[in-house]
Amino acid sequence: MKLFNSDTIPLIKGKKILDLGCGIGGSLEYGVEDFLGIDCDKESIKKARKLGRNVIYGKLPNAVFNGKFDAAILSHILEHLPTLDDVQKTLELARAHLKKGGLLIVGTPYAYDSTAWQHWQHQRVFTMQSLTDLIKMQGFEIVDVYTYWHLPCENWWMKHGIGNYPLKLTKRDYILKVLATFNLTRHLTVVAKR
């Protein structure tokens, strides 16, 4: 569930960040100083607050809060929302709280990866095309799309500090489908501008 890499970390570092579905506020580990996290899991909120993180309770897409932000993060949230209407309203909520020119960073499993449906709470999965189309329909301009790859013996690579390789690919989903056939492509990150 890698959302941040050498391309995306500079987009949030030192910025005012809204993290929708923040968990314990993990995006703070990437140089974020001004942060508001929204989550519906009360245990995660307690843990985040013990860590001194500014996290409030809110259930998407109906969370109520104030402020304008430089960037909004939706890391592995959209696939958990029960209806497409909830997905659209959550994107609208993020857009409403972004400053003009603010960035939306969305991470989600890739639809053709065999692990995308393994989590029992996943309600939907996205292809590169379906996710970018959905984000554009909410008035965003796509800045970039990233994919992440499974590596053979991935746990060993991660333990030894090499990790996954983020690769910018052509916007054509069929290339990803071929790679996913071999269980290689696992994650999409879309960066969009308000």
What pLDDT shows up at residue 30? 67
Side chain identity at residue 126, one-letter code: F
d(CA 112, CA 127): 7
Which candidate, 179, 78, 74, places its Cα nearest to that of 130?
78
pLDDT tens for each residue of 35-88: 899 999 999 999 989 888 889 999 999 999 999 999 999 988 999 899 999 999
Neighbours of 11 (CB within 10 A): 18
pLDDT tens for each residue of 88-145: 999 999 999 999 999 999 988 877 776 766 666 788 888 888 999 999 999 999 998 8
What is the model's pTM? 0.80
What fold characterizes domain 9-193? Rossmann fold (3.40.50)
